[in-house]
Amino acid sequence: MSADGPLWVRAPALDVAPRCVLVVDGVAVSAVAGECLATALAASGRLALGVSPAGRPRGLVCLMGTCQQCVALVDGRRRPTCLVAVRDGMEVWLTDGGGP
Ligand code: FES
C-alpha cells in the first residue's frame, strides 16, 4: 500500500461475483471463481511470485504468458499464473521449486 492508497484495487462488480478458495503456500486465499490467478494473487497482496537467479523478486510483467516472470507451481505443474483461471481447491506454491 502506498501513501495514496492500495496499489491494486478490484472492480466493484467483483464484490458480488461467485467466490472460491485456493491454497497458496499452505494458506487459504479467497478469490473470484474463474479470475486470472496472477491477479488473484496480487489482490491478496502477493506481488512477489518468486526470486530471480540474481536474488531479486519476480512478479507480474506482461500478463500475457510471454515473460514467464509469474511462474508458480500450480497443482503440481510450473505454470505462468497469468494464464491460469482460479478454481476452488487449487493448490499454488510461489517459492521456486515449491511444495511442502
Ligand atoms: S506476467 Fe508475463 S508470463 Fe505471466
Q: Is 70 in the pocket of ligand 1 (CB under 6 A)?
A: yes
Residue whose CB lies within 8 A of the most ligand 1 atoms, among 36, 70, 79, for a mutation test: 70
Whether residue 63 contacts residue 80, with contact meaning beta carbons closer than 8 Å, is answered with no
- For the chain, 100 residues long, the average pLDDT of each consecutive 10-residue run is 64 79 96 94 92 89 94 95 97 69
Do you know the residue count of the chain? 100
Q: What are phi and psi of 30, to 5 degrees?
A: -85, 140
Identify the H or E element spanning 91.
strand 91-93
Per-residue model confidence (pLDDT) at position 95: 73
Calculate how far, in angstroms, residue 6's C-alpha sits from the geometric centre of ligand 1: 22
Per-residue model confidence (pLDDT) at position 7: 64
The residue whose CA has the least distance to atom 3 of ligand 1 is: 65
Q: Is 68 in the pocket of ligand 1 (CB under 6 A)?
A: yes
Per-residue model confidence (pLDDT) at position 96: 57
Per-residue model confidence (pLDDT) at position 30: 95
End-to-end C-alpha distance for the chain, whole angstroms: 29
- Residue appearing with cell numbers 472492480: 11
The CB density around residue 25, as the number of other CB atoms within 10 Å, is 16
Domain 22-93 fold is: Ubiquitin-like (UB roll) (3.10.20)
Per-residue model confidence (pLDDT) at position 2: 53
